[in-house]
Structure formats: C-alpha cells, structure tokens
Amino acid sequence: MRAIETKQISLDVGMFQLKDVNISIPAGKITAIVGPNGSGKSTLLKVLTRLVRPDHGEVYILDRLSRSFTSLEFARTVSMLTQSKSALPDLTVRELITFGRSPHKRMFVRMNEEDEEAVEWAMQATGTKRLEHRMFHTLSGGEQQKARIAMALAQKTGIILLDEPTTFLDIAHQLDVMEMLQKINLEYRMTIVMVLHDLQQAAHYCHYLLAMKNGKLVTSGEPRHVIHADFLKQVYQINARVSFEDEYPIIIPMKTLPH
C-alpha cells in the first residue's frame, strides 16, 4: 500500500524547483527525504501537504487524488510539522495541542470525549503530558518541538510529514525526538515522512530513503542499500568513507569535489 504517490510533479518557484518528480512512499513506514540545501526537499513536502500547488503533475494520498479532498478531509488525513520558527501566541501546551482537533470540529461544537482522548493520546505519545499547563514559550527547544509534534498527532491522521524536526536541537534532543517518532511509528503504524540532514540518523531510524538533487529525485530505496560512497559523491559531491557498525552507518566525510 502506498501512503503517498506523485506523478510527474513539476514546480518552478524561482530559487527552488521540482522537475518531473515521481515518488512513492510506503504506508506504515518511516521515510527520510535527504539532499543538499536547495534541492527541493521542503518544497516537495509543501506540495505533498497542499501548501503549494504544483505547476504540473498530481499527488495521490492513499491512492486518492490529493486535490479531490476537501480542506478538512485533507487535514484529517495528512498532518505536518512545519519548519517555521514563527512566534506563537501565549498558549499553554495543552491549548496548542488542542488546536490539532480543529479539522474534526465544526465552528461552535465543544470538545467531546473523542477530542479529549486524542489530545491525551498525543501528549502521552510525545511525553508532553507533564508540560500540559506550561506556557509554550517557556519550554526548551526540544520540548517545544515535541509539543508541536503532539499538535500534529492530535489531528489523528495516518500520515505525518516533518520538515527537519531535529535541526535546531542538540544531539541528545535529536535522538530523543527520533526515538519518539520511531515509537509512534511502531506502536500506531503511522506513516512518517521527514526531511533530514543527518544521513546517519536517516539510515538508522528510517526504513526508506529518497534523495533529491536540483529538484529531481536521484535515488530511492532502503538506506543500507542506498548510502554508499558513490551516493555521497553523486548527491553531495563529497568524497567520503562509509562503513556499517551493526546497522548503523558511519559516514566519514573526506573532501569536497570540484563541481
């Protein structure tokens, strides 16, 4: 079963481009999208979540044409953690997470039991329950990221996309967030798709990997089989040594190659 599939996606937004991108993301798995800066990873994620409309091509979510969903239907099917660092209003963690229920609510309908359960579940899954009455802006970077992920989880979608969920975190919090996502994938069979910069983490935590370069899909497959020295040469234009230590790839960058 395919969670997400694209057919010939093209988009030209000046700096970033997508050219005839055909991808297929397996359901119930963790998929990483990697590639150099400006390769179109984030743009692709925005196309998949309908934040940006492609010039050509179609996106299919669970084998259904993505643009045939209503706005609310779509938000009940796909959620996303954006990269934005924009300041949020004065909110408690619980209030923020409760916003994740909006796609399930009509205008004046109050929170029902199902909503409360979803919020509780999202807090349990992300370990943010103990923070529920803290003000969001008083949290540390890692805690904020978890609270934002909890909001996306509260939408109760089967598919969640994350744009660089670990970029601004220290190494311990990075692992913390990755382990949390791994657990969510295992326990609830959620399809997780994330843009990552750290190839070692991508290989360690993800079942599937897509590599982008210059707006094109370069290669895809299981990280173990994809990440090797030639791959790094081709995608990142660096010389590197790659070895494996119990499933965990060790990538030692050596030198950049001339373009």
One character per residue 149-188, x = contact with another protein (rule: CB under 8 A): ---x--x---------------------------------
Residue among 71, 85, 227 nearest 168 (CA)? 85
CB under 8 A: which stretch of 21-29, 33-41, 44-52, 117-125 binds another protein?
44-52
Residue type, 103: P
- Shortest CB 71 distance to another protein, Å: 5
d(CA 69, CA 128): 31
Candidates 42, 43, 47, 74: give the one binding another protein (CB under 8 A).
Answer: 74
Q: Counting contacts by CB under 8 A, is residue 15 touching another protein?
A: no
Q: Counting contacts by CB under 8 A, is residue 75 touching another protein?
A: yes
CB under 8 A: which stretch of 86-94, 123-131, 189-197, 245-253 binds another protein?
86-94
Q: Counting contacts by CB under 8 A, is residue 82 touching another protein?
A: yes
Q: Which is nearer to another protein, 76 or 204 (CB)?
A: 76
- Shortest CB 237 distance to another protein, Å: 30
- Shortest CB 84 distance to another protein, Å: 6
Q: Which is nearer to another protein, 37 or 71 (CB)?
A: 71
Candidates 1, 86, 110, 259: give the one binding another protein (CB under 8 A).
Answer: 86
Q: Counting contacts by CB under 8 A, is residue 103 touching another protein?
A: yes
Contact footprint for another protein (CB under 8 A): 49-51, 71-76, 79-80, 82, 84, 86, 88-92, 95, 99-100, 102-103, 107, 133-135, 138, 152, 155
